[in-house]
Amino acid sequence: MIPGAFDGETVTRRRLMVLGANGAGAVAAAAFLLPALGFALGPVFEEHKVPWQPVGPVEDFDDTSYVPVTFTIVDGIGEAGKTLAYVRKRNPKIDTDKLPKGFEFEEFIAISTRCMHLGCPVHYVDAAQRFICPCHGGVYDFRGFVVGGPPVRPLDRFYTRVRLGQLELGPRYSVNSELDRFSPRDPGEPLDGIGQYLYPSRPSVRKLNTGQP
Amino acid sequence: MPKLKLPTPPKILNPRPTRPGNGPKPTPLDNAKEAGATVVDWLDERTSLAGPARWLMFRKVPRGTNWFYTLGSATLFAFLNQAVTGVFLAMYYDPSPTHAYESARYITNEAFLGEFVRGMHKWGSTVMVILVFLHMGRTFFFGAYKYPRELNWIIGVVLLILTMTMSFTGYLLPFDQRSYWATIVGVNINGTGPLVGPYLSDFLRAGPEFGATTLSRFYAIHMLLVPGAIVALIGAHLYLVTKLGTTAPPWLKAEQESELREERA
């Protein structure tokens, strides 16, 4: 028998009152905490679509050197939303990798300037045929493979297609050292071996399944 | 030997206090002299805060207390400097990607004393980080983290992490080239944590790329979320310091009462 309880009572009225008041408080707190938390976490689960953007007539690009093009990846934030890509035609003598299913007709390669160490902007040095990162000394060869410094995977690329004689760039994708394509990962995340599982694809951005329809 | 009775001093040397209500009326000057005491009395009668205030301000400190013991207060004042200058910087600053740089430039070049206040905030942040580490070093080398002060050490470490969060989020706000790329690098370092890293980066950026709301998100964390947590934890930190007292420096041996020494012998 609980002290202070009536005969046969298993929960005293005082205890019920305490539980009720605390429970009501918890519900009230959850009513503003959970929506606020969801509001802050929402963008993690929201898919971010990138539109195709024309960057110039196809005649502007050849298969021996890169042409830098500027285009917008994030709208509404002015200069900060623009990025640079280095574009060239596929060269069968150099680009021996097999194109994946759905992308067999890709003719161009667009290399992202985001360094795969920690995301600084690389620039292409024509004389050396290398991409060089100013921050921590990452060096990539003509095809974007790492040849020196701390980067963990080859430079990311953008999907390309041709519309009405214009070359268009689409979303970014990441590659491992075999040039297998993955949904865009952040810099510093290796994709060889166990890497692709340690750094999983994010719901906010997915890879394309087909290229030019 | 019987003591002689002392002679009564003349009345002029020993004036009797006037009975309440009988004396001359207090002049406005007398009232003004009493104003401070009156206000404090009025407050204390209604709050009983004089006791806690005395408990907080007038405490005993161990022998050997020296200048190293002022590092905590110094850190507190560095934080207060950040809080006050930050509030006034917020009056001019605009956390939108298209206007942030321009508003920071306006503060530095146009606003009266703007360069000074911004400088106080910028250099003050570095000073605060240095002081936090010196304070931590003092606590460590003096052994002041030991029982019963472990909880205060833990709170201090959380405050250190929050200070670093402030430095990281504040670095983006001028929105120049250095801030932008340093934030890209910082967010990507977060992203290299296995499994959770990619989601943490998305959370910090509010999306897969540095976007329209990244700056305002950093601004909200920098001026609302973290400062609130820091103020609350500083309160807890100071409460524990007052409650537990400070430690003597390690080079002082504990002194025993002479009676106790004799008893043991």
SS3 assignment for B90-137: CCCCCCCCCCHHHHHHHHHHCCCCHHHHHHHHHHHHHHHHHHHHHHHH
DSSP state string for B155-198: HHHHHHHHHHHHHHHHHHTT-SHHHHHHHHHHHHHHHTSTTTHH
Contact A44 B199 (CB under 8 A): yes
Name the percent of chain A lying above pLDDT 90: 74
Same domain, A10 and A70: no
Q: Counting runs of H as helices and runs of E as strands, what totals does chain B give? A: 11, 0
ipTM for the assembly? 0.87
Dihedral Cα B237, B240, B242, B243, nearest 10 deg: 170
Same domain, A151 and A88: yes
> Average pLDDT in the A84-100 region?
92
Mutation site, A47, A196, A204, interface B, largest B CB count within 10 A: A204
A160 close to A170: Cβ distance less than 8 angstroms: yes
- Residue B225 dihedral angles phi and psi, to the nearest 5°: -65, -60
Same domain, A22 and A42: yes
Q: Considering CB atoms only, which of B188, B199, B212 is closest to A187?
A: B188
pLDDT tens-digit series, residues A57-85? 999 999 999 999 999 988 888 888 899 99
pTM for this model (two decimals): 0.86
Reported as a pLDDT band with limits 50, 70 and 90, residue A213 is: very low
Which chain B residues have a beta carbon less than 8 Å from that of A200? 195, 198
The reply to whether A4 falls in a domain is: yes
Least Cα separation, residue A45 to chain B (angstroms): 8
Q: Which residues contact B241 (CB under 8 A, 6 or more apart)?
A: B72, B152
pLDDT value, residue B212: 83
Calpha distance A43→B134 (Å, rounded) = 39
Same domain, A58 and A26: no
A190 close to A152: Cβ distance less than 8 angstroms: yes
Strand ranges across the sheet with A130-132: A123-125, A130-132, A139-140, A146-148
Q: Is B144 helix (H, G, I), strand (E, B) or coil?
A: coil
A179 φψ region: left (φ > 0), alpha (ψ -120 to 50), beta (else): left
Same domain, A116 and A28: no
Tally of structural domains, chain B: 1
Same domain, A5 and A86: no
Same domain, A60 and A141: yes
Reported as a pLDDT band with limits 50, 70 and 90, residue A205 is: confident
Using the Cβ of B196 and the Cβ atoms of chain A, whether some distance falls under 8 Å is answered with no
The first and second tokens of residue A27, run together, are 């519900």
- H or E element that contains A125: strand A123-125
Domain holding B149: CATH number?
A: 1.20.810.10
Which chain A residues have a beta carbon less than 8 Å from that of B199? 44, 202
The reply to whether B160 falls in a domain is: yes
pLDDT value, residue A211: 58
The reply to whether B168 falls in a domain is: yes
Residuewise pLDDT in 10s, chain B (265 residues): 778 888 887 888 877 777 877 777 878 888 888 899 999 999 999 999 999 999 999 999 998 999 999 999 999 999 999 999 999 999 999 999 999 999 999 999 999 999 999 999 999 999 999 999 999 999 999 999 999 999 999 999 999 999 999 999 999 999 999 999 999 999 999 999 999 999 999 999 998 999 888 999 999 999 999 999 999 999 999 999 999 999 999 998 777 666 666 655 5
Whether the per-residue pLDDT at A113 is higher than 70: the answer is: yes
The reply to whether A16 falls in a domain is: yes
Residue A193, domain extent = 53-198
Work out the angle at residue B128's Cα, subtended by the Cα atoms of residues B123 and B132, and round it to the nearest 5 degrees. Answer: 155
Which chain B residues have a beta carbon less than 8 Å from that of A204? 202, 207-208
pLDDT: which is higher, A145 or B257: A145
Tally of structural domains, chain A: 2
The reply to whether A208 falls in a domain is: no
The reply to whether A39 falls in a domain is: yes
The reply to whether B112 falls in a domain is: yes
Contact A43 B201 (CB under 8 A): no
Q: Which residues contact B16 (CB under 8 A, 6 or more apart)?
A: none
Of A81, A80, A144, the C-alpha closest to A110 is A144
How many CA atoms lie less than 13 Å away from A141 in the CB half-sphere?
7
> Average pLDDT in the A163-185 region?
93
Lowest mean pLDDT among A6-10, A202-206, B65-69: A6-10
Which chain A residues have a beta carbon less than 8 Å from that of B202? 43-44, 202, 204
Calpha distance A69→A87 (Å, rounded) = 7
Which letter does DSSP use for residue A203 in this model? T
Residue B140, domain extent = 66-244
pLDDT value, residue B198: 94
- Residue B91 dihedral angles phi and psi, to the nearest 5°: -70, -25
Which chain B residues have a beta carbon less than 8 Å from that of A198? 194-195
Q: Which residues contact B194 (CB under 8 A, 6 or more apart)?
A: A198, A199
B181 close to B107: Cβ distance less than 8 angstroms: no
DSSP state string for A39-83: HHHHHHHS------EEEEEGGG--SSS-EEEEEESSTTSGGGGEE
Contact A74 B181 (CB under 8 A): no
Give the Å distances, CA to CA, from B194 to A124, A190, B164, B170: 31, 10, 22, 26
Calpha distance A11→A2 (Å, rounded) = 8
Mutation site, A39, A44, A183, interface B, largest B CB count within 10 A: A44
How many CA atoms lie less than 13 Å away from B24 in the CB half-sphere?
5
